[in-house]
């Protein structure tokens, strides 16, 4: 298994960051590497919610497996090459000063043999780039939410 971790500090409280991440169907509104996203279940949040995302010519299905209010959201990713056994993304939030520390961990399992591990590392590198883009997009979105809240005097 290959594990890739990316982290960022966002200048917004965990509740605001969670509000963006918890809108599970809306990832395409803030992640620059996601062209389209929609729910595949009537359930919009919590463990069991499923979304479909389109990124270029790649279509993925993501199923929520971890849902800890304002702390963590994790999901499996299906639709990658068939030699990949599993991919799991987990977002973790923790208060940090007046903002939020965000950690995005991707776990890729392609199997135990050296060629499989090589494939997992290659997929991990691609996921790391995607994670960097998502963290940047999340930071921009959260800054916009915080800016609108301050300007209107309302909660996001």
User: Would strands 72-78 and 2-10 be described as parallel, antiparallel, or unpaired?
Assistant: unpaired
Tell me the pLDDT tens digit for each residue of 137-150. 999 999 886 555 44
| pLDDT > 70 fraction of the chain, expressed in percent and rounded | 92
Distance CA 154, CA 147 (A): 10
> Which residue segments constitute the domains of the chain, with CATH numbers given?
2-148 (3.30.530.20)
Q: From residue 27, give the alpha-carbon distance in Å to each of 39, 82, 84, 104.
A: 11, 24, 23, 14
pLDDT at 146: 55
88 within 8 A of 110, measured Cβ to Cβ:
no
Q: What pLDDT was estimated at residue 156? A: 45
Mean pLDDT of 37-63: 96
* CA–centroid distance for 23 within its chain: 11
Task: List, for residues 64-103, the tens digit of each pLDDT value.
Answer: 999 999 999 999 999 988 889 999 999 999 999 989 999 9
The answer to whether the beta carbons of residues 93 and 68 sit under 8 Å apart is no
What is residue 151's predicted lDDT score, i.e. its pLDDT?
37
Residue 147, C-beta contacts closer than 8 angstroms, at least 6 positions apart: none
pLDDT computed for residue 113 by the predictor? 94
Would you say the pTM of this structure is higher than 0.85?
yes
């Amino acid at each position: 298994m290959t594990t890739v971790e990316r982290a960022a500090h966002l200048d917004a409280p965990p509740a605001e960051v969670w509000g963006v991440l918890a809108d599970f169907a809306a990832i395409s509104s803030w992640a620059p590497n996601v062209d389209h996203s929609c729910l595949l279940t009537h359930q919009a949040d919590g463990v069991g919610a499923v979304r479909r995302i389109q990124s270029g010519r790649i279509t993925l299905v993501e199923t929520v497996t971890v849902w800890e209010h304002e702390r963590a959201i994790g999901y499996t990713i299906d639709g990658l090459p068939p030699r990949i056994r599993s991919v799991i993304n987990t977002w973790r939030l923790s208060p940090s000063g007046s903002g939020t520390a965000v950690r995005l961990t991707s776990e890729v399992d392609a199997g135990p043999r050296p060629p499989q591990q090589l494939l997992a590392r290659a997929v991990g590198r691609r996921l790391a780039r995607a994670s960097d883009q998502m963290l940047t997009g999340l930071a921009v979105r959260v800054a916009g939410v915080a800016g609108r809240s301050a300007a209107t005097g309302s909660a996001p």
